[in-house]
Amino acid sequence: MNRTAGFFIVALSGACFGALGLFGRLAYAAGADAPSLLFLRFSLAGAVLASVMVVRRQRLPERKVVLALILLGAVGYVSEAGAYFIALQHAPAGLVALLLYSFPALVALLQRVVFGERLGRVKWLAVALALGGTALTADVEQGGAKPLGIMLGLLSALLYACYVVISARVAGRAGPLASSTVILGSAGVTLGLVVLARGPAFPTTPTGWAAVVALALVSTVAAVLLFFVGMARIGPVNTSLVSTMEPLTAVLLGALFLDERLSARQGVGGLLILTAAVLLARSDAPDPSLRPPEDTKAAGPG
């Protein structure tokens, strides 16, 4: 029963992450711009997670680790989230989410090129499927996507892959809650400076502000906490598999509420990307001597 609940919890986490595009689009329609929207999201989410740390009496890690986490948030996560949310202005939310989910294959390639990690046949097959799926999904002739939206969606995947590779070597020493708190807080401060310099563009309607709150509490705080609660019950590999609910949810919500449709070619491409993600997750047998990368998935995609 505990294990079954874990699968539902992780699926719910993926659904929360998958709603990013919907809430972002609603906030944009209410007059928000990307820097202001992300500032509100990260600041509110960081404050909530900091409160959780206070209640749990959890301390921050050592200074060097905190500084590394601040850089991850202020530079890495701000860049990735910025690319993702600007892409939402130029491409359907479901398409952007599918493009982002090519990041596991990019992580595998980075591990091979940068760190010399050997990739088995299954991983090379997954990389090939992901690259082929991305080529099919990046269809600018259908689905209402502009070339800029495709490029930014791919850039967000590359930046998130770099973020995962680096955080796997930094955030594990801090723990998921402390890592997420510092990363989101530093991202909020960075974007606050950007908003201060260029002027804010906050939502002008109650619906827009509700979308901002949902973006912070549902698609960030709840998504992150549910992710780790579920992973504690079913393990990192199963968690990675079930997390494919994220782009599927984004596609479904885009179709139901934003009148977005993917072409048949894009649907096939998305299926190949998700198949690659499943293959990569299954090929990563947990090593008890190492912390799995999923343990450091602070904050999550987008």
For residue 280, is it within any domain? yes
pLDDT of residue 214: 97
Distances (CA, A) of 203 to 12, 45, 198, 208: 27, 18, 16, 5
Structural domains in the chain (count): 1
Q: What is the tens place of the pLDDT at every residue in 159-214? A: 999 988 888 777 666 788 888 999 999 999 999 999 999 999 999 999 999 999 99
Contact 32, 209 (CB under 8 A): no
For residue 67, is it within any domain? yes
One-letter amino acid identity for 205?
A: T
For residue 301, is it within any domain? no
For residue 282, is it within any domain? yes
Residues 6 or more apart in contact with residue 196 via CB below 8 angstroms: none
| Averages of pLDDT over each 10 residues, the chain, 302 residues | 83 93 96 97 96 92 90 94 95 93 90 84 91 85 79 95 83 79 95 96 97 96 89 79 88 91 88 90 58 53 70
For residue 211, is it within any domain? yes
Q: What is the tens place of the pLDDT at every residue in 143-164? A: 678 899 999 999 999 999 998 8
pLDDT of residue 69: 92
pLDDT of residue 287: 47
Angle between helices 206-216 and 34-56 (to 10 degrees): 50
Count the Cβ atoms, other than its own, within 10 Å of residue 125: 16
Whole-model pTM: value is 0.88
* Domain span at 260: 2-296
One-letter amino acid identity for 9?
A: I
For residue 223, is it within any domain? yes
How far apart CA 13 and CA 8 sit, in angstroms, is 9
For residue 206, is it within any domain? yes
For residue 125, is it within any domain? yes
